[in-house]
């Protein structure tokens, strides 16, 4: 449960956080190299999200602990990276507040809905997956903050993508709240 291959991969996302943040505090390394290293680490660790789920199903090593830890690791990785980007002035603080605030609010909502036996009403929806995908593209673009393949200005693309992610973040939060309200009203009346 705690030490299956999929769970260990999930733990790597949590371990990655100080590594990605720490890169920007290493002295004697150019900013361009720091950007590249942080980007590569983020992409590699973000890919473990897909890999741990695949392996858990393939190796029949799914667990309730893994199901709990996986989204927590994702949220930690995204939130820490956003804080770095805000600190580097590559992402607006308002975007950071929207995304981090939504993660806290929806996590709390899901916990509450589970306590009242209505967790199915706030199950992961495609809108949330699209939001996560856009975030997972925007963040490495902003970490890299350069021209990719001589064509793509990742700073500009990342800027627009992170704002799209913020919009999708609000939209998905409204969606989950709309799904939860009828269940909440039903439970409160009892």
Task: Kindly report, residue by residue over 76-107, the tens digit of the pLDDT.
Answer: 999 999 999 999 999 999 999 999 999 999 88
- Domain of 26 in residue numbering reads as 5-189
pLDDT tops 90 at residue 162:
yes
The residue ranges of DSSP E strands in the chain, in sequence order, are 147-148, 152-153
Q: pLDDT tens digit string along 140-156?
A: 999 999 999 889 999 99
Q: How many domains does the chain have?
A: 1
According to the 3-state scheme, what is the secondary structure of 66-83? Answer: HHHHHHHHHHHHHHHHHH
Q: Whole-prediction pTM value?
A: 0.87
Which residues, 6+ apart, have CB-to-CB distance to 135 below 8 Å?
78, 99, 162, 165
16: CATH: 1.20.120.1760
Q: pLDDT tens digit string along 29-76?
A: 999 999 999 999 999 998 988 888 888 888 888 888 887 888 888 899
Q: Give the distance from CA 119 to its chain's centroid.
A: 20
Q: 161 falls in which pLDDT band (50, 70, 90)?
A: very high
Tokens of 69: 């830890």
User: 16, 45 in Cβ contact below 8 A?
Assistant: yes
State the pLDDT at residue 45. Answer: 92
**Number of helices (H), then strands (E), in the chain:** 6, 2
């Amino acid at each position: 449960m705690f030490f299956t291959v999929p769970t260990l991969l999930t733990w790597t996302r949590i371990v990655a956080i100080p590594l990605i943040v720490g890169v920007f505090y290493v002295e004697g390394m150019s900013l361009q190299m720091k950007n590249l290293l942080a980007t590569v680490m983020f992409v590699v660790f973000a890919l473990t999200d897909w890999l741990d789920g695949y392996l858990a199903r393939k190796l029949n090593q799914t667990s309730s602990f893994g199901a709990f830890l996986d989204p927590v690791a994702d949220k930690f990785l995204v939130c820490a990276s956003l804080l770095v980007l805000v600190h580097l002035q590559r992402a607006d603080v308002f975007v950071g507040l929207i995304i981090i605030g939504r993660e806290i609010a929806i996590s709390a909502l899901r916990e509450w809905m589970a306590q009242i036996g209505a967790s199915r009403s706030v199950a992961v929806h495609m809108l949330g997956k699209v939001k996560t995908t856009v975030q997972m593209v925007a963040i490495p673009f902003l970490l890299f903050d350069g021209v990719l393949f001589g064509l793509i200005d990742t700073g500009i693309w990342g800027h627009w993508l992170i704002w799209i992610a913020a919009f999708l973040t609000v939209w998905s939060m409204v969606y989950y709240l709309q799904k939860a309200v009828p269940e909440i009203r039903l439970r409160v009346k009892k």
